[in-house]
Amino acid sequence: MCGIVGYIGKREALPILMDGLKRLEYRGYDSAGFSVANGDRIVTEKAVGKVAELENKINEKDIPGNLGIAHTRWATHGKPSERNAHPHRDCSKKIFLVHNGIIENYKELKHDLEKAGHKFSSETDTEVLAHLIEEYSKQVPFEEAVWRTLAHVRGTYGLAIIDRENPQKLIIARNGSPLVLGVMDDGYVIASDVAPIVRYTDRVIYLDDGEMAEVTGQSCKITNFKRKKVKKEISKIDWSVEEAEKKGYPHFMLKEIMEQPEAVENSIRGRLVVGEGIAKLGGLRDVSERLRRLKRLVIVSCGTSYYAGLVGKYMLEEYAGVRTDVEHASEFRYRKPLLDENTAVLAISQSGETADTLAAIREAKNKGAITLGIVNVVGSTIARETDAGVYNHAGPEIGVASTKAFTSQLSILALLTLFLGRQREMSFVMGKRIAEELAEIPKLMKSVLNQADEIKKVAEKYSKYSNFLYLGRKYNYPIAMEGALKIKEISYVHAEGYPFGEMKHGPIALIDKNFPTMAIATKDSVYEKTLSGIQEVKARSGKVIAIATKGDREIQKMVDDVIYIPKTLEMLTPLLSVVPLQLFAYHFAVGKGLDVDKPRNLAKSVTVE
């Protein structure tokens, strides 16, 4: 959730910290702050709101120093305020730290520290860490004080810590919240993900849970919580800083919507063998024979990725013949999942760091299941901890509301369907047809995106409404839920996504002239039933916007507005039908003057439970 950035080396720290905060702001924007060390002096500044507020506060201030830490916050404990903003410090103003995660036993720790005379200045769980390090520092050196502190806390953390008495050292530690160490020629930059690092280096070290690094301007020593030195490989970042820029678009979200043809093309490139009707997934090579014996697949994911999993369920069961269940990762381990060696658990996560999804994968491994991942971030925790997997290669997604990662996930689920299906009873003819149609999707997506201006007009027409019903059937039922989620996320209007057949079992009571319906009514195996549902809405004076198949003129007589998408194989329709819903939500929110890239209360990567 929160974003951490730090620097130690020969350069001035503050410009690197501020640039990093801007690039991490999608992880949280309730408040921001930094601490910069210059000799035995540490300067700290904080501001409530977005990073721009902090930038305005320090405008024209001279804050030199080659060591610093910074933080952009998504509030958990304590409301957004300057006193709750990070960095937090101890009583003596010696220890300063930033934290992403939750300290579960902070109340008992705080109680003990207060009894020992410590004075707290915030409502956060994080502050106990600074005071605990201070307490131990009375007896032992800085590094040992950090070790002892971490031994006494329960919960999750990504931490960056500096000490006024050790002005040439930065300590970082990870347990459940991601931290990446960027290796520069003249120092080190650390961050919650690679977005702030890629401008300075393409060489990174990914910390694993239970690891701590002592970093100077010239070297870093990484040890695990057993105090043993760990040898880490240096990985290469596979995208450039230009990919994380807006490139002239007003928002990252719009840029990423428009990048979807390219993202899908990158997801399937080199993996789709059209002439043979097969998918080659190198990331699954080591478990290929185990997957041939697979009896059941369980998909675990959250939010938009969960809806991708639901589409995947339809694909995998209908075409690959694999029994597939889709579960909210946040609930998976709180019951008794029935798994065995013939079950695979597939995690879908854009960031590869989603806390609930990662916990589900760890539970699955404990139960003996094969674990697989579909993630967009190379080197992420889920990518490292699963037995096998497939990378999206969709490029960085900065907008909080997921768009291109979602369609990339659908593309890979289609590839997985082809891969598993051809291992089983899927014929060459069917495999070839799926491969041919999937290869055409990027081109068809572009034709939908070319209607962006028309979709904007539809969004403006319905801008006064504050309630929407999204309806779909079969493959497009999850897309109805995803469309409703998008407009909720960035416009803060009430929207519900439902299967058409369930409308009569409750939601139809909401329909009137002030409650429009977005109906996905493509020409597929459930088309006639979908039209019947539209008639029921119209009979109750409901306005209907339809997503329909190009060439369907009949539907124009039934609905108020139509947005057309090209015809494709039914299982691939969601890749096209979701695009107008993304554009509708985007233009609807922009019309209200809202910041679609940073919607309130949301963060891009949910790394705490």
- Cβ atoms 588, 603 nearer than 8 A: no
CATH of 452-591, one of 1.10.540.10, 3.40.50.300, 3.40.50.10490, 1.10.1060.10: 3.40.50.10490
| Architecture (CATH level 2) of domain 247-449 | 3-Layer(aba) Sandwich (3.40)
Of the candidates 406, 525, 539, the residue with the CA atom closest to the CA atom of residue 473? 525
Instruction: For residue 157, give the amino acid letter.
Output: Y
The one catalytic residue in 22, 50, 488, 604 is 604
pLDDT level of residue 29 (50, 70, 90 thresholds):
confident
Q: 202 near 184, Cβ under 8 Å? A: no
Residue with tokens 């439970």: 609
Q: What is the mean pLDDT of residues 192-200?
A: 90
- Catalytic (active site) residue 2: yes
Residue 605 pLDDT level (bands cut at 50, 70, 90): low
Tokens of 34: 């930094």
Portions of the chain given CATH number 3.40.50.10490 = 247-449, 452-591
What is the C-alpha separation between 126 and 235, in angstroms, rounded? 30
Q: Which residues does 106 contact at the CB level (< 8 Å), separation at least 6?
A: 77, 125, 128, 153, 155
Residues forming CATH 3.60.20.10 domain(s) in the chain: 3-237
Does the annotation count 91 as an active-site position?
A: no
Please give the structure tokens belonging to residue 441. 């999707």
Yes or no: say if 312 and 324 are a contact pair by the CB < 8 Å rule: yes
Q: Confidence band (pLDDT; 50, 70, 90) for 64? A: very high
Position 608 pLDDT exceeds 70: no
Kindly report, residue by residue over 372-413, the tens digit of the pLDDT: 999 998 888 899 999 999 999 998 898 989 999 999 999 999
Q: Which fold is adopted by the domain 3-237?
A: Glutamine Phosphoribosylpyrophosphate, subunit 1, domain 1 (3.60.20)
Cα 461 from Cα 456, distance rounded (Å): 9
* Annotated catalytic residue within 2, 50, 220, 523: 2
Percent of the chain with pLDDT over 70: 98
Q: What is the pLDDT of residues 171-183, one digit of tens each?
A: 999 998 889 999 9
Q: Which DSSP string do the residues of 395-412 spell out, in sequence order?
A: ----SSS-SHHHHHHHHH
- Res 241: pLDDT: 67
Residue 32, classed as helix, strand or coil, is strand
Q: In this structure, what are the phi and psi dihedrals at residue 506, rounded to the nearest 5 degrees? A: 145, -60
- pLDDT, position 607: 56
Model confidence, pTM: 0.85
Structure tokens at 575: 């890749």
